Structures are given as structure tokens and as C-alpha cells.
């Protein structure tokens, strides 16, 4: 790699980075986008500004910083970790190695919860909140909802709190705990919805050795019983905690839609539905807690 930073224009730097990504041991799926994002970070400019002056030269300091980021990306480090942020819904969230990187597929879970017939001042519980992405996205659309995010990782809880502060959504509360056991129930306030993107990958899944997931905590990815253990725990807790006609909504693996739907139906949830993501794969299953089921428990 060259050290002639001042001889590198923005256009030439982007071309060099794209070539580096394409010929790396583990090529990225979006070399042009990755190059643009990293160069914008180093130059502290917008994408529009980056392309407005393609012949502007990089300083030696800028080139050194860009070269270092490109090298890390070529080794497989996620762009979100290199940038320190990830866009989700309408938010720009801080991310680090303590949580999952928010993904576009999870926005479907947010969309579905927003479509449910929840009260104007609904009480919503986000289990396994991670960076707080789901809880904060819901709060950004419904300022009157009372939303609590729970995560077993203290580092994740602190990150979620920081994201709530930077997004001016400090009405969302975050706490540490093991699924719903981390939430202090107020018997005077009914719980209208539980939403979760829990660990759902089988420990033997070969995808765990590929891509960004290699840099994410296994505790946020892997679950026992072929990826179903945490989903089962949360569903059973929801059956005890939800108000009659309250909703439970999960993100899950592409091959788990039928299993999750059967689980919810067996516990007494009605209107159980599985929706596909934008790639045509089963991704979210949700159901409504029924009065009859509640009477049996």
C-alpha cells in the first residue's frame, strides 16, 4: 500500500479502496459503498460533498487514517464498528462489539408492531434490546408509548441509554436482566406488547463463521434447542405477563417461522401470523394473547 497520501485524490482513493476490498481474502459484498462510508468518516464530509470535489487531494493524515480503516475492513471488521454508528429506521445509533449491529430486516419487526391495534399510551417491553434500536424506533413514532428495553448485558444497556440520549428519546427506559425477569411489573399498568429479536441461531450454523457475525457477541446470536430456546422462554413469559388481547412479536430465523407459529398457538395466542422479509424469507411471527388462554393459566 502506498504512503503517498497527498498524491491521492478522493476519486483515486475510492478506486484504490474498492480494488482492495474486491481482492481481499474475504471480499465485501458492497465495496463501493464501504469505500464511500469510510472515506466520508475520515474526511468528515457527506457523500454529496465527497463526490462534489472528486479531484481534491487527501492530506497525509487523512490518507493514513483511510488506509488503516480499509486494512481493517479487508480483514473482515464490520463497517458499522469502523464507523461507530449504524442507521436504523430514522435513527443514527452508536454501535460497538457489545451488541448486534442493527439490520434492515429488523425494521420489519418495527413496522409490524406499529401496525398493531395498541392503545395510544401502550406499555411495550423490548426483550434483548441490544443497542436499543427497536425500542427507540418505536418511541420515535409513538411518543406516548411507555417502552422499556431489557438486556442481560450491562454494556448493551449502557449503549442503549446513550442512544436514547443522543436521539432525544430519553423517555425510553433500559434495564439489565434475564429476559422479562429484568422488568419490574407494575400491576396497575397492563402490558400491551412484548417485542423481541432474541438469539435464534443454532450453535452449529456455519454462518457464524462468516461476515459481520464473527465480530458480534455469541450470546446475542446463539440459542440452545436449534436456536429456539430463548424464543420458547420469552413466549412462556409473555403468556404470564401480557394483558388480554396484548401482542407478542418475534424476529426469528428464515427456517423457524412454522416452529414459532406452532409455539404461540400451543400457548394460546390467536391471530398468529408469519411475515416474510424483503428477501422473501420468513422473518417475523406475532400473535395476540386471548382471554380464553389467560383463564386457563
User: What is the CATH classification number for the domain harbouring 43?
Assistant: 1.10.8.10
- 24 and 54 both lie in a single domain: yes
pLDDT in tens, 57-102: 999 999 999 999 999 999 888 999 999 999 999 999 999 988 888 9
More reliable by pLDDT, 145 or 296: 145
- 137 and 109 both lie in a single domain: yes
CATH code of the domain in which 253 resides: 3.40.50.150
| 86 within a domain of the structure (yes/no) | no
Residue 189: CB partners within 8 Å, gap ≥ 6?
Answer: 123, 146
| 284 within a domain of the structure (yes/no) | yes
pLDDT band with cut points at 50, 70 and 90 for residue 296: very low
- 134 and 269 both lie in a single domain: yes
pLDDT in tens, 25-46: 777 888 999 999 999 999 999 9
- Flag whether pLDDT at 129 surpasses 50: yes
Sign (positive or negative) of CA dihedral 283, 201, 208, 164? positive
- Flag whether pLDDT at 1 surpasses 60: no
Question: How many structural domains are present in the chain?
Answer: 2
**Percent of the chain whose pLDDT exceeds 90:** 70
pLDDT in tens, 94-114: 999 888 889 989 999 999 999
Phi, psi of 3 (to 5 degrees): -105, 10
Domain limits at 55?
5-76
Q: What is the mean pLDDT of residues 251-278?
A: 95
Q: What is the mean pLDDT of residues 244-252?
A: 96
Q: What is the mean pLDDT of residues 127-137?
A: 96
- 137 and 238 both lie in a single domain: yes
- pTM tops 0.85, yes or no: yes
- Flag whether pLDDT at 5 surpasses 60: no
Amino acid at each position: 500500500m502506498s504512503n503517498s497520501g497527498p498524491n491521492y485524490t478522493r476519486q483515486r482513493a475510492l478506486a484504490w479502496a474498492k480494488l482492495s476490498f474486491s481482492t481481499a481474502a474475504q471480499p465485501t459484498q458492497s465495496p463501493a459503498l464501504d469505500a464511500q462510508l469510510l472515506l466520508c468518516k475520515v474526511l468528515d464530509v457527506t457523500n454529496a460533498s465527497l463526490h462534489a470535489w472528486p479531484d481534491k487531494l487527501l492530506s497525509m493524515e487523512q490518507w493514513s487514517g483511510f488506509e488503516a480503516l480499509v486494512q481493517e475492513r479487508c480483514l473482515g471488521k464490520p463497517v458499522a464498528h469502523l464507523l461507530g454508528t449504524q442507521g436504523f429506521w430514522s435513527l443514527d445509533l452508536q454501535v460497538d462489539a457489545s451488541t448486534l449491529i442493527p439490520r434492515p430486516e429488523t425494521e420489519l419487526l418495527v413496522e409490524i408492531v406499529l401496525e398493531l391495534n395498541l392503545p395510544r399510551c401502550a406499555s411495550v417491553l423490548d426483550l434483548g434490546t441490544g443497542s436499543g434500536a427497536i425500542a427507540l424506533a418505536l418511541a420515535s413514532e409513538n411518543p406516548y408509548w411507555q417502552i422499556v428495553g431489557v438486556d442481560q448485558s450491562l454494556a448493551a444497556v449502557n449503549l442503549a441509554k446513550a442512544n436514547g440520549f443522543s436521539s432525544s428519546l430519553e423517555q425510553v427506559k433500559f434495564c439489565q436482566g434475564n429476559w422479562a425477569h429484568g422488568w419490574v411489573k407494575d400491576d396497575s399498568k397492563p402490558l400491551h406488547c412484548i417485542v423481541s429479536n432474541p438469539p435464534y441461531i443454532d450453535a452449529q450454523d456455519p454462518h457464524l463463521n462468516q461476515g459481520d457475525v464473527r465480530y458480534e457477541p455469541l450470546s446475542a446470536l446463539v440459542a440452545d434447542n436449534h436456536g429456539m430456546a430463548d424464543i420458547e422462554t420469552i413466549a412462556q413469559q409473555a403468556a404470564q405477563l401480557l394483558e388480554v388481547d396484548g401482542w407478542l412479536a418475534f424476529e426469528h430465523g428464515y427456517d423457524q417461522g412454522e416452529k414459532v407459529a406452532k409455539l404461540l398457538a400451543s400457548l394460546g395466542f390467536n391471530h398468529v401470523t408469519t411475515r416474510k422479509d424483503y428477501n422473501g424469507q420468513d422473518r417475523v411471527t406475532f400473535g395476540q394473547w386471548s382471554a380464553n388462554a389467560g383463564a386457563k393459566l
